[in-house]
Amino acid sequence: MDLKEYIRSILDYPKKGILFRDITTLIKNEKAFTETINQIVERSKNFKFDKIAAIESRGFVFASAVSYILKKPFILLRKKNKLPAERYSVDFKLEYGTATIEMHKDSINKDESILIIDDLIATGGTAEAAAKIIEMPKAKVAGFIFVINLFDLGGYDNLVKKKYNVESLMNFPGH
C-alpha cells in the first residue's frame, strides 16, 4: 500500500507559501491508518526504548496506538499551560512562528530511553525541543519515527547530524 496516496496537500496553509501535508485523509481510511501503525510498530524494532513520547497533537494519534500495541507507557509532550502538575518547559521556533512544549516532571526517570513519534518533520524545531525536554531529567532519546519527512526543509538531516536515530515512513518536498 502506498501511504503517500492518502496524504492531502493544501497550498498556503496555515499561511501563504506553506504547502501543508494533511494526515486526516490517511487516518480516516481504516486500511491506510492500520498500515501506518503497523509500519511504525515494525520500525520501532530498530530502537531500544522504555517509553513512547509524542508531540501534541497529531503525534498523539499515532503514538497512542503504537503504545497500546507495544504495551509501553505513553508520555504527552503538550502545548504550554495544558498540563496541571509540575513540568519541564522548552521554547522553540517553528517554520511559521514560535511555540512552547511541556512535559510533566514525573513522566520520565533518569536513564530511561524514550522513542519520540510524530506525524511530520519539517525544519526540526519541534523535534529538537522534544529531545531537549526528554533529556532534562537525564533520560535518553532512543530515536524518532515520523510518518512524513519534508526532506528539503532539513529537519530530518539536522537530527541525524546531532547523532539521533531517525526514521520516517514517507518523504515529500516541503514547498
89-107: pLDDT as tens digits = 999 987 667 899 999 999 9
Residue 175 or residue 150, greater confidence: 150
Domain with 111 in it: 47-172
User: What residue type is 156 in one-letter code?
Assistant: Y
Q: Which three cell numbers stand for residue 72?
A: 509501553
Report the alpha-carbon distance of residue 88 to residue 65 in Å, rounded. Answer: 25
State yes or no: pLDDT of 142 exceeds 90: yes
Per the domain annotation, does 146 fall within a domain?
A: yes
Per the domain annotation, does 150 fall within a domain?
A: yes
> If pLDDT is split at 50, 70 and 90, which confidence band does 19 have?
confident
Per the domain annotation, does 131 fall within a domain?
A: yes
User: What residue type is 77 in one-letter code?
Assistant: L
Predicted model pTM: 0.95
Query: In which element (H, E) is residue 41 found?
Result: helix 30-44
Per the domain annotation, does 1 fall within a domain?
A: no
Per the domain annotation, does 14 fall within a domain?
A: no
Query: How is residue 72 annotated by DSSP?
Result: -
CATH code of the domain containing 167: 3.40.50.2020
Q: What is the pLDDT of residues 65-91, one digit of tens each?
A: 999 999 999 999 999 999 999 999 999
Upstream peptide bond of 67 is cis (omega within 30 degrees of 0): no
Per the domain annotation, does 160 fall within a domain?
A: yes
Upstream peptide bond of 14 is cis (omega within 30 degrees of 0): yes
Report the alpha-carbon distance of residue 59 to residue 129 in Å, rounded. Answer: 14
Report the alpha-carbon distance of residue 61 to residue 173 in Å, rounded. Answer: 23
Report the alpha-carbon distance of residue 84 to residue 104 in Å, rounded. Answer: 8
When divided into structural domains, the chain yields a total of 1
User: What residue type is 100 in one-letter code?
Assistant: T
